[in-house]
Amino acid sequence: MELIPVCDKQALMQAGCSFSPNTLRKWHSRNTYPGLVVKIGGRLFLNKKVLGKIVEKEVVKQRFYCRKCHQLCCLAYKFPGERNT
């Protein structure tokens, strides 16, 4: 498990995390992504492994939505007279 201090913005950027420390603190307090930010000794740390899993999950979700959008666009052009405008 690779932990990066949330307070160190430079280390977050080098790790590939473009979220601000304030955003990460808010997600931790609201438990938006469980396990992404952990508290050790009163300090918050970003779990890089969990960040990778979240990014992977979101990419899969976006691909699904893009496929659905593409299918809807193809249907709209297939039957142009039946579109509601």
pLDDT above 80 (res 76): no
* Residues 3-32: b if buried by 16+ CB within 10 A, e if exposed: ebebeeeeebeeeebebebeebeebbeeee
Q: Print the domain residue range for 32.
A: 3-82
**How many distinct structural domains can be found in the chain?**
1
Is the whole-model pTM more than 0.85?
no
Q: What is the pLDDT of residue 34?
A: 93
pLDDT tens, 4-57? Answer: 999 999 999 998 898 999 999 999 999 999 999 999 999 999 999 999 999 899
